[in-house]
Structure 1
Amino acid sequence: MKKLKVLFVCIHNSARSQMAEAFLKKYGGEKFDVKSAGLEPGVLNPLVVRVMKEEGIDISGNGTKSVFEMFKNGELFKYVITVCDATKAEKCPIFPGVNKRLHWGFDDPSSLEGTEEEKIVRIRLIKEEIKQKIQHWIKEMEGE
């Protein structure tokens, strides 16, 4: 069976798209070839790295990647899923040459305010939202 190529995209590839990629790799098994990228690649959010480690997933070695580099390299994906928070007017990128585009809006961990512990609590909630969405989507895909 040919793997479905999936790309998760957000602004900096520092948090949401990284979490989504990690969860699809963990729960999707061999069915998916998954990557993540950003419009303006930044630095991995250390609090997101910490929260994912609590989940038993180490993303600390992941680099952030440019969606434009992937496009220039001719990479094609069956699904491109943006995970930007459209309610905060983030510019969700568009990736040309895609069979299916989906948008799943999640709050941006890098825009959270408060103490480190308050941010960690909120990032855990965002992580759970992303994990549940991934698990639900995998079930949907199995039905197709």
Structure 2
Amino acid sequence: MTDSAHEKSILFLCVANAARSQMAEGLARTLLPDDWRIASAGSEPGTLDPRAVTVMQEIGIDISDQYSKSIDSLDLTSYHWIITLCQEEVCPIVSGQFERKHWPSPDPARHESDDLDGFRETREAIKTMLKTQFREHLEGT
């Protein structure tokens, strides 16, 4: 992988890889150019939360084909950016030569409610962080 291709790679991490990191992956795939490699994973992968799918569909992004993955199944050295999204739980700890960012986001999936407001708030916070941190790379901006 060339250095320039490596610099265009992001891995979003949280614990379950069920909501926050999945929404971040979908948002980044939509906002960043197609030549960027975007993925998400978790330290204790669960199942993609259908509420995350619903709130992403509200803004025209389909993440229904995404699935939870373990950080152990990925080559972490192939990513330039690793962004953790945990807030109230312990984020996965990874070592390596990459740019680290931490965007503390509350886990909307921790509530059993059918209320989607927490998912919407998390989605919008992640979208804002993406637009702030990667503004020079965004499509159409």
* TM-score, normalization by structure 2: 0.86
CA distance in 2, matches of 1:30, 1:5: 11
Greater share of helix: 1
Runs of 4+ in 1 over 2 A off after TM superposition: none
Equivalent residues of 1:80, 1:98 under 8 A apart: no
CA distance in 2, matches of 1:29, 1:130: 17
* 1:86-123 Cα distance to aligned partner (Å, 9 max, x none): xx2x111122223211100001011125x41xx21221
CA distance in 1, matches of 2:11, 2:20: 12
Q: How does 1:1-144 map to 2 (within 5 A)?
A: 2=5, 4-71=8-75, 75-85=77-87, 88=88, 90-112=89-111, 115-116=113-114, 119-139=115-135
Equivalent residues of 1:7, 1:36 under 8 A apart: yes
CA distance in 1, matches of 2:97, 2:12: 12
**Structure 1 unaligned residues grouped into runs of 5+:** none
* TM-score, normalization by structure 1: 0.84
Please state how far the C-alpha of 1:140 moved relative to its aligned partner: 5.7
Please state how far the C-alpha of 1:30 moved relative to its aligned partner: 3.0
Identity %: 37
CA distance in 2, matches of 1:20, 1:98: 22
Change beyond 3 A, Cα 1:104–1:91: same
**Structure 2 unaligned residues grouped into runs of 5+:** none
